[in-house]
Structure 1
Amino acid sequence: MSAGGLKAELRDFWPRLIDDWRDDWLSLIMGVALLFAFSQAWLCPLFGYGDQSPAVGGLIRNFYYPFYLMAVTVAVVCWRGLLSAVWRTPLLLCLCGLCAASYLWSIDPSGTFRRVIALFMTMLGGYVLAVRFQWARLLEVIAAAFVIMMIGSYVFALFLPRLGLMQDLFPGAWRGLWAEKNNLGSFMSIGAVAAAAAALHNPQRRTFWWGMTAGMVLLTLLSTSKTSLVCLVLGMGGIGFIYLARKGPILGILLSWLALTVLLGLGALILYAPDKLYLLLGKDATLTGRTFIWDGITRVMQDRPLLGYGYGVVWSDESDYAPLAKITHVAGFRAFHAHSCWYEVWLGLGLVGLVNWALVFAEAWLKGFYRMLRGTGGYFALPMLGIYGLSSLTESMALSWNDLRWCLFVIVAVKVSLPRDEDSKNFTLRA
């Protein structure tokens, strides 16, 4: 961009921003607030960086209710589009319905009931944001939420280092608003991709969004999380892939075949040389003890292979003969989740739920590729799915209540399922 163009963009930044969002400012505020709430970036600053007591846990649950109300409010405003989205995502709805149905066989029905409500509201938030906004505006909403997290993390790390920097396990590593450095790295790697996509979809504010991208990339590096760095490279590489694929049909086909080859190679690496992948992610052969947890889950699932133990309750039942006790005995330590989307879904919903989740995941990927080739998908969809897919191997992010990453997955899965995006009518996608 020329110096004159940069000055014009900076001069017109606020007038154009106000004009672009004049009719949608309330939806913008509620959308950003909803995503920020699901990020849980407020949790440690408000309730402390240590373990919370049960009383504090009750306050935390109550904290979400105003944001649930925001999701319901937006749903009422765009109810027609919401019905269309519901009709077009049957697999995702079946997965949510299976979580609710697991109340019937759950080892803690009341716990499953409470968490299903929270899951439903989290997914409703994803649905309404996907329906309410066009790609260009949606990406600004998502990126704006991450900008708030980024600014807060810089403030805490620079001016309140006792809180913003890790003190024990990894002294000096930046953790920002979260309890662990890996959380900061994970969210900032996704935020950087969202901000970069916002820059490409909103050329009138590209300088601002590229600046925010740089700030989030720096935070990812300062977190010293190797997995987050790999996710960042994967996400940014995905944006470059989409940009080049849109240059023409021949190049798009060639790049698609290249992407398929890379995915097959990655699958072969996972199957036949997992130690090399662990080294890339900065993990040992046990993935920092995760394989011991998975071995314990495999053993307890022999008793309930088809339907599992109920949604979201295994890790809170600490009775002597509960599945958690057996997993702890095998793993040698007390785990708080499965550290894998796939094992987590299998544990709660059995083989039936695992197959359903695999179909949802595959459907999102196929629709994302299709939309990319047709030029109607955003720059965020495939990179987000790539980051999510990699992270899903070692983190429990699928069907997570009050979780930003699950909400973003729902947004992408719904958005690529909707008809041809309206961005082509109102916005020009330019790089």
Structure 2
Amino acid sequence: MTWDAAEAEAPPRIWNTALAMIAAVVMLLIYSAAWQLPLFGDKPDPAAAGLARTAYLPAYALAFLLILARPWNTARVAARQPFLLLLMGIVVASIAWSVAPNASIRHGFAAACTTIAGLALAAGFRWIDLSRLLGIVFAVLVVASYGVCLAAPSIAVVSETLPGGWRGLWMAPGTLGGLMALGCCVLSATALMDADLRKLWLAFAGLAAGLVLMSRSGAGLAALAVGLTALSFVWACRRGATRGATVVGVLLLVLFMLLAASTLLGKEAVVTGRTPLWATALSQIEQRPWLGYGYGASAGQSVRNAWIELWLGVGLFGLMAWGLFYLQALALAVIAAFRDSGALLAFPVLAAFTLVSLTESVAMADNDLRWVVFVAAAGKLAFSDRVWDG
């Protein structure tokens, strides 16, 4: 019996899946932070910042509800992510040596809940359902972004760093560019996995790519190029085109190295003020390289580089735990490219996330949609549909 036939004979399960999808969509839309700029403006006061943190509580609650729906699956997913658990443990332990314990507790709790949300998605959905779920979320964000940019350009098309660049519902064009690059990869992968709605998903993917261009974010455009090339690599592998996969694989590697160098050393890093931030952070790291200053203790201003941010917060041990978790996910994605259709979603997500991590603090990030998506993809790679307990 096929999976579709089994679903047709089990209406209660369909309803359970639908309710879980709705809960997950709402949760992810909260994590997208697309509501912050319209509600609080560019520079929210302390009271507004506190209210914004409170607004994430429903997302935490929905994540725990998803876990309660499949607790055994969640335990199995977590058991397959030892380095992620180690990283979370170091984040918690860093409270003991943090220079700002209260900040570390607050940010650590939020980061743990955000990570749990990703694990809940990996435990609760098969690849096809996860791709549709993420596709729906990014389709909503695409429509909302075009709507606000066209209806209220004075709010959504204002930027001091990238004049004329669209920022949509977020604080900076770079955020819109990075999110829509990830969204385009997700929507394109969903189009390949969901043949019935392929044209619709492709239309949204094209609109997401348009937002990357309108943001004028070089980092976002680089992430888009790498992510779509990674998707082409998996597509070639899945079709058994060995020669084509080899060519695309080499192109992906070369393209990534060139774009990573441009992202780190190019003009945009200077214009957007990332270069002095990195230099200051690295000088601070030299004073406490092993343990760092405590997770979130220096979160008043983001370093805008995931690797430097983690090193600054949780030291070299935490950075190594993150690196091992990342390498595990990457290795599983490469293997899955030849074995599992889920790699169509996971591999481009990892590729785009990797480039975004060079210009944004997205690794072990609290209240961040990109981190939730990355953890979900990494979790599913270690917990494939073959061992999924429906």
Structure 2 Cα separation of the partners of residues 145 and 138 of structure 1: 11
TM-score, scaled to structure 1: 0.82
Query: Offset at 1:293?
Result: 2.5
Partner SS for 1:401: coil
Judged with a 3 Å threshold, the aligned counterparts in structure 2 of structure 1 residues 269 and 79 are, in CA distance, closer, same or farther, namely: closer
Q: How does 1:243-392 map to 2 (within 5 A)?
A: 243-248=235-240, 250-251=242-243, 255-256=245-246, 259=249, 262-263=252-253, 266-267=256-257, 274=261, 278-279=265-266, 283=268, 286=270, 288-316=272-300, 336-392=301-357
Structure 2 Cα separation of the partners of residues 203 and 131 of structure 1: 24
Query: Offset at 1:226?
Result: 1.8
Listed one character per residue, the Cα deviations across residues 279-315 of structure 1 (whole Å, up to 9, x for unaligned) are 4xx526x574433333322322232221111001123
Matched, 1:124 2:89: no
Matched, 1:400 2:365: yes
Q: Which amino acid aligns with 1:365?
A: L
Judged with a 3 Å threshold, the aligned counterparts in structure 2 of structure 1 residues 204 and 392 are, in CA distance, closer, same or farther, namely: same
Judged with a 3 Å threshold, the aligned counterparts in structure 2 of structure 1 residues 289 and 118 are, in CA distance, closer, same or farther, namely: same
Q: Mind listing any 5+ residue stretches in structure 2 that lack a counterpart?
A: 1-10
What is residue 33 of structure 1 aligned with on the other side? 26
Judged with a 3 Å threshold, the aligned counterparts in structure 2 of structure 1 residues 255 and 19 are, in CA distance, closer, same or farther, namely: farther
What is residue 429 of structure 1 aligned with on the other side? none
Structure 1 Cα separation of the partners of residues 248 and 220 of structure 2: 24
What is residue 200 of structure 1 aligned with on the other side? 192
Listed one character per residue, the Cα deviations across residues 97-125 of structure 1 (whole Å, up to 9, x for unaligned) are 10000011111112111111111110111
What is residue 162 of structure 1 aligned with on the other side? 154
What is residue 7 of structure 2 aligned with on the other side? none
Structure 1 Cα separation of the partners of residues 186 and 119 of structure 2: 18
Partner SS for 1:402: coil
Of the three residues 407, 413, 416, the one matched with 2:381 is: 416
Equivalenced residue count is: 380
Partner SS for 2:302: coil
Of the three residues 187, 204, 224, the one matched with 1:232 is: 224
Matched, 1:145 2:137: yes
Matched, 1:172 2:164: yes
Q: Report if the CA contact (8 A) 1:122-1:401 is conserved.
A: yes
Structure 2 Cα separation of the partners of residues 65 and 140 of structure 1: 25
What is residue 5 of structure 2 aligned with on the other side? none
TM-score, scaled to structure 2: 0.90
Matched, 1:99 2:52: no
Structure 2 Cα separation of the partners of residues 339 and 96 of structure 1: 20
Judged with a 3 Å threshold, the aligned counterparts in structure 2 of structure 1 residues 188 and 419 are, in CA distance, closer, same or farther, namely: closer
Q: Report if the CA contact (8 A) 1:311-1:348 is conserved.
A: yes
Structure 1 Cα separation of the partners of residues 312 and 12 of structure 2: 49
Judged with a 3 Å threshold, the aligned counterparts in structure 2 of structure 1 residues 167 and 388 are, in CA distance, closer, same or farther, namely: closer
Matched, 1:42 2:35: yes
Q: Report if the CA contact (8 A) 2:119-2:379 is conserved.
A: yes
What is residue 53 of structure 2 aligned with on the other side? 61
Q: Which has the larger radius of gyration?
A: 1
Structure 1 Cα separation of the partners of residues 70 and 263 of structure 2: 47
Judged with a 3 Å threshold, the aligned counterparts in structure 2 of structure 1 residues 108 and 235 are, in CA distance, closer, same or farther, namely: same
Structure 2 Cα separation of the partners of residues 288 and 159 of structure 1: 27
Matched, 1:113 2:105: yes
Listed one character per residue, the Cα deviations across residues 48-90 of structure 1 (whole Å, up to 9, x for unaligned) are 2x20000001111111111211111111011010010111111
Query: Offset at 1:257?
Result: 7.7
Q: Report if the CA contact (8 A) 1:39-1:404 is conserved.
A: yes
Structure 1 Cα separation of the partners of residues 159 and 90 of structure 2: 42
Q: Which amino acid aligns with 1:118?
A: A
Q: Report if the CA contact (8 A) 1:376-1:420 is conserved.
A: no
Structure 2 Cα separation of the partners of residues 101 and 186 of structure 1: 31
Q: Which amino acid aligns with 2:285?
A: M
What is residue 43 of structure 2 aligned with on the other side? 51
When the two chains are superposed, the root-mean-square deviation of aligned CA atoms in Å is: 2.6
Query: Offset at 1:23?
Result: 4.1
Q: Mind listing any 5+ residue stretches in structure 1 that lack a counterpart?
A: 1-17, 317-335, 427-431
Query: Offset at 1:337?
Result: 1.5
Q: Which amino acid aligns with 2:87?
A: L
Listed one character per residue, the Cα deviations across residues 337-373 of structure 1 (whole Å, up to 9, x for unaligned) are 2121111111011111111111111111001111111
Judged with a 3 Å threshold, the aligned counterparts in structure 2 of structure 1 residues 393 and 73 are, in CA distance, closer, same or farther, namely: same
Partner SS for 1:373: coil
Structure 2 Cα separation of the partners of residues 224 and 298 of structure 1: 28
Judged with a 3 Å threshold, the aligned counterparts in structure 2 of structure 1 residues 378 and 262 are, in CA distance, closer, same or farther, namely: closer
What is residue 8 of structure 2 aligned with on the other side? none
Structure 1 Cα separation of the partners of residues 15 and 252 of structure 2: 44
Structure 2 Cα separation of the partners of residues 177 and 268 of structure 1: 30
